[in-house]
């Protein structure tokens, strides 16, 4: 089954700490809030320097998809994030501060609660033709993509559950493997 998640249906929600906005693409369990998600995928708009929200017992993969990047300090360690479409992992429960390199950025964020499953999600940015297994989320980033009969434009997404599919990414797309997390067989998919 597939679930199409159009970018046009998302609303901007203030960050937990009020320092920016996020647009949720998908989360489990569906309807979960910031305090009780097992996993969550979103696009975050960072318009100014400042701290990231802290998420206890959560790990993150951040991928810059628009803008020049950021100079992050994660738990006292400097991490220059200045290459688009390169996933970067870090803990979500340690102090993280951001200095923008040259104006605003948009980040694809994949967050998961430790202990939500046996493995963390996988995140890859791809172009071309790729066979996908079940329980993945595909987000078109800088062009169109076709998967399971759906055509995606930038930031549209498709969640696949229970069946394989083929992705034709004409631009770059993020493929997020969520199969190792606690996604029950009866998870709501359209």
pLDDT value at 141 more than 70? yes
User: Where along the chain do its domains lie?
Assistant: 10-113, 122-177
Report the CATH number of the 10-113 domain. Answer: 2.60.120.10
Q: What is the 3-state secondary structure (H, E, C) of the chain?
A: CEEEECHHHCCCEECCCCCCEEEEEEEECCCCCCCCCCEEEEEEEECCCEECCCCCCEEEEEEEEECCCEEEEECCEEEEECCCCCCEEEECCCCEEEEECCCCEEEEEEEEECCCCCCCCEEEEEEEEEEECCCEEEEECCCCEEECCEEECCCCEEEECCCCEEEEEEEEEEEEECCCCCCCCCCCCC
pLDDT digits (tens, 9 = 90+) for 145-185: 999 999 999 999 999 988 889 999 999 999 999 865 433 33
Q: What is the pLDDT of residue 79?
A: 96
pLDDT per residue over 30-74, tens digit each?
888 888 899 999 999 999 999 998 899 999 999 999 999 999 999
**Residue 190 has what pLDDT?**
29
* pLDDT band, very low/low/confident/very high, at 188 (cuts 50, 70, 90): very low
pTM above 0.85, yes or no: yes
Q: For residue 18, what pLDDT band results from cuts at 50, 70 and 90?
A: confident
pLDDT digits (tens, 9 = 90+) for 100-118: 999 999 999 999 999 876 6
pLDDT band at 14 (very low <50, low <70, confident <90, very high): confident
């Amino acid at each position: 089954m597939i679930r199409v998640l159009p970018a046009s249906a998302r609303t901007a929600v203030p960050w937990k700490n009020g320092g920016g906005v996020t647009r949720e693409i998908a989360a489990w369990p569906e309807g979960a809030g910031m305090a009780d998600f097992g996993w969550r995928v979103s696009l975050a708009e960072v318009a100014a320097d400042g701290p990231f929200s802290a998420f206890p017992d959560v790990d993150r993969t951040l991928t810059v998809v628009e803008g020049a990047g950021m100079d992050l300090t994660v738990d006292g360690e400097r991490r220059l994030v200045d290459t688009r479409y390169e996933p970067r992992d870090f803990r979500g429960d340690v102090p993280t501060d951001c200095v923008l390199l040259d104006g605003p950025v948009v980040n694809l964020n994949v967050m998961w609660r430790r202990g939500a499953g046996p493995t963390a999600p996988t995140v890859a940015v791809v172009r071309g033709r790729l066979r996908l297994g079940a329980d993945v989320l595909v987000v078109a980033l800088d062009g169109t993509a076709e998967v399971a009969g759906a055509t995606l434009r930038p930031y549209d997404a498709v969640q696949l559950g229970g069946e394989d599919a083929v992705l034709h990414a004409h631009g770059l797309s993020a493929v997020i493997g969520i199969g190792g997390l606690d996604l029950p067989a009866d998870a709501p998919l359209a």
